[in-house]
Amino acid sequence: MKFLLIASNKDLASKNIANHIKEYFDVFETDKELLSLTNDDLEKADYYIFLSKHKSMANKPSLTVHTPGNLTENNEFGGNPKEVCPCDAVLNTLLLKNIYKNYKIYYKNGKIKEFDVSFEVVHHSPTDLKAPTVFVEIGSSEREWVLKEAGEIIAKSVLEAIEAMKSKNYDKKVRAIGFGGGHYAPKFTKLALEDKYYFGYLVPKYASVSEEVLNQLISKMEVDKALIDWKGCRGEDRRRYIEFLEKEGIEWERV
């Protein structure tokens, strides 16, 4: 089971996290921007974990996890339109839970200020990788990107998740796709942190995805169930998603 950890020398948060990992685990370092990478740039692996910065208009301190891809025709941030990378719900959720656990330890001990810890929905490149892919990110400004403690939290969490995946040391839970809600998927983040589900692909309210993309979501991830944020999903999209899921024999639930 090969994990490729990817860091960019042009990304301050990426370098920060990588510096805390390299003592224990090899890191694939590149001079390219992470979002410009494609399958041809990387070694073959069973899992890809990108160590990255997170940017947002609010500049709120945050630690985030998400699978990359473009859910619609919009490929403003690289990659191919309507293409998503493969996803592993167990890995994504172990990363989120580890980050939250380690952040809470640092916060309780006064080593770090308040950060939001959350999933993000599927967005940005790369889109063409052939194995489960996930971004772990420090946000949202240069002040946080270079914060040693934030780098340590992400690094420790990544190493713990890799160890759990390799040893299969994790509980069995329903692997879910989430539909609806905002960019930081608060409902699905909460359910994951409460140990209710393993979440993989998360599709926000603002992305109305086609059947072509829906097919990718169920073929590029092992899916047990779909959860629909009922109030956080447009009625028309809800109907289409439910029709598709029932046609494909995938159980769904409203939350």
Backbone angles phi, psi at 54, to 5 degrees: -125, 135
Closest CA to 136 of 180, 82, 152, 40: 152
Predicted pLDDT of residue 164: 98
Q: How many domains does the chain have?
A: 1
217/97 Cα distance (integer angstroms): 22
Residue 31, Cβ density class (10 Å: 0-12 exposed, 13-18 middle, ≥19 buried): exposed
Strand partners, 228: 179, 254
Answer yes or no: pTM beyond 0.95. yes
Predicted pLDDT of residue 56: 87
Backbone angles phi, psi at 103, to 5 degrees: -60, -45
CATH number of the domain within which 145 lies: 3.40.630.50
Residues 6 or more apart from 100 whose CB is under 8 A from it? 117, 193
Residue 80 sits in which domain range? 3-254
- How confident is the prediction along the chain (255 residues), in pLDDT tens digits per residue? 999 999 999 999 999 999 999 999 999 999 999 999 999 999 999 999 999 999 988 889 999 999 999 999 999 999 999 999 999 999 999 999 999 999 999 999 999 999 999 999 999 999 999 999 999 999 999 999 999 999 999 999 999 999 999 999 999 999 999 999 999 999 999 999 999 999 999 999 999 999 999 999 999 999 999 999 999 999 999 999 999 999 999 999 999
Predicted pLDDT of residue 94: 98
Predicted pLDDT of residue 58: 82
Residues 6 or more apart from 38 whose CB is under 8 A from it? 126, 128
CA distances 132 to 66, 70, 85, Å, are: 11, 15, 7
Predicted pLDDT of residue 222: 98
Tokens of 162: 């890799």
171/247 Cα distance (integer angstroms): 30
Closest CA to 182 of 246, 231, 115, 241: 231
